[in-house]
């Protein structure tokens, strides 16, 4: 009798555990321009909860893994980004039509100031500004950038954040462990990595990490990345930079 009761509760526990695990399902849809109802190609769809990505094809079609209540972030250059909740109806019907609204983009005037070169190498070499920072390589680049983990005071900057509760890195890395775990998940999805490699707006990273885009430059500055890198790197390189800084933070914190 005693063993029967144990087996009963064991079976009940396994049944409950099985019910808690919700298998991934796929939903699909078409994304259109709300103005002229034309299909939107290369729109980016990110499952914020599962950290998975997808893109629309020429007909505006996409397909992505989801679970009920997941949130999809949909973006495309020149259009207002949109967040869509995955509902049971969508999972049941499998298909949905989504419309994005165009937004006006005001381009600021860019002034390019040429160097006044004399033609004499010894003179001209002294007029071109150089950076004293060290250089490093990062994912997606064929050439190096200044600063990074090989810069002389990068280690001290991260170390200081651990012992200073008011430091930006301490507040960011210490209070967002769940979001920062997504950095590893990002690296597992080739679609998402390819998507980030083609983007420079920091929007996807900000959404996945649950931060404001304005915080990203400050985080990278505290990690001792140069202004040149912060301004010109693509989102994949930015993601790798934050991930590397976070790994340094965790190692130093353990010590």
The secondary structure of the chain, three-state, reads CHHHHHHHHHHHHHHHHHHHCCCCEEEEEEEEECCCCCECCCCEEEECCCCEEEECCCCCEEEEEECCCCEEEEECCCECCEEEECCHHHHHHCCCEEEECECCCCCCCCCCCCCCCCCCHHHHHHHCCCCCCCEECCCCCCCCEEEHHHCCCHHHHHHHHHHCCCCHHHHHHHHCHHHHCHHHHHHHCHHHHHHHHCCCCCHHHHHHHCCCCCHHHHHHHHCCECHHHHHHCCHHHHHHHHHHHHHHHHHHHHC
Domain endpoint, select from 125, 157, 185 = 125
- The verdict on 201 and 115 lying in the same domain is no
- The verdict on 166 and 250 lying in the same domain is yes
76-101 average pLDDT score:
91
Is residue 10 situated within a structural domain?
A: no
Among residues 27, 29, 60, 22, the alpha carbon closest in space to that of 42 is found at: 60
pLDDT at 36: 94
Q: Are strands 44-47 and 135-136 parallel, antiparallel or unpaired?
A: unpaired
- The verdict on 30 and 116 lying in the same domain is yes
- The verdict on 164 and 230 lying in the same domain is yes
Q: Which domain, by its residues, includes 48?
A: 21-125
pLDDT at 40: 96
- The verdict on 145 and 245 lying in the same domain is yes
Confidence of residue 11 (pLDDT cuts 50, 70, 90): low
pTM: 0.66
User: Is pLDDT at 28 greater than 90 in this prediction?
Assistant: yes
- The verdict on 112 and 40 lying in the same domain is yes
Is residue 4 situated within a structural domain?
A: no
User: Mutual orientation of helices 154-163 and 168-175 as an angle, nearest 10°?
Assistant: 70
Provide the mean pLDDT of the chain: 76
- The verdict on 102 and 174 lying in the same domain is no
- The verdict on 176 and 193 lying in the same domain is yes
- The verdict on 84 and 174 lying in the same domain is no
pLDDT at 17: 46
- The verdict on 120 and 139 lying in the same domain is no
Is residue 13 situated within a structural domain?
A: no
Domain endpoint, select from 100, 125, 150 = 125
pLDDT at 209: 86
Number of folded domains that form the chain = 2
Longest dimension (CA), the chain: 99
**Which has more pLDDT, 24 or 142?**
24
- The verdict on 76 and 144 lying in the same domain is no
Q: For residues 168 and 81, what is the distance between their CA atoms, to the nearest angstrom?
A: 28
User: Mutual orientation of helices 215-222 and 168-175 as an angle, nearest 10°?
Assistant: 110
Domain endpoint, select from 93, 125, 157 = 125
**Which has more pLDDT, 90 or 168?**
90
pLDDT at 134: 46
Q: For residues 145 and 49, what is the distance between their CA atoms, to the nearest angstrom?
A: 32
């Amino acid at each position: 009798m005693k063993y029967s009761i144990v087996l009963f509760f064991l079976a009940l526990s396994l049944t409950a555990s099985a019910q808690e695990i919700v298998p991934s399902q796929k939903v699909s849809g078409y994304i259109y321009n709300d103005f002229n109802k034309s299909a939107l190609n290369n729109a980016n769809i990110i499952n914020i909860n599962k950290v998975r990505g997808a893109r629309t094809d020429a007909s505006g079609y996409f397909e992505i893994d989801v679970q009920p209540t997941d949130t999809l972030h949909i973006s495309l250059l020149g259009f207002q980004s949109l967040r869509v909740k995955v509902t049971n109806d969508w999972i049941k019907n499998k298909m949905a039509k989504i419309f994005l609204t165009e937004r006006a983009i005001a381009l600021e005037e860019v002034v390019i100031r040429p160097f006044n070169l004399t033609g004499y190498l010894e003179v001209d070499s002294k007029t071109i500004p150089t950076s004293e920072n060290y250089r490093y390589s990062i994912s997606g680049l064929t050439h190096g950038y200044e600063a990074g983990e090989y810069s002389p005071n990068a280690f001290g900057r991260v170390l200081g954040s651990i012992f200073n509760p008011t430091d930006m890195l301490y507040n960011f890395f210490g209070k967002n462990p769940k979001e920062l775990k997504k950095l590893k998940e990002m690296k597992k999805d080739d679609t998402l990595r390819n998507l980030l490699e083609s983007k420079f707006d920091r929007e996807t990273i900000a959404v996945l990490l649950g931060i404001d885009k304005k915080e990203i430059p400050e985080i990278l500055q505290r990690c001792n990345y140069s202004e040149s890198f912060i301004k010109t790197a693509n989102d994949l390189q930015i993601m790798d930079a934050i991930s590397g800084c976070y790994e340094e933070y965790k190692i130093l914190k353990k010590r």
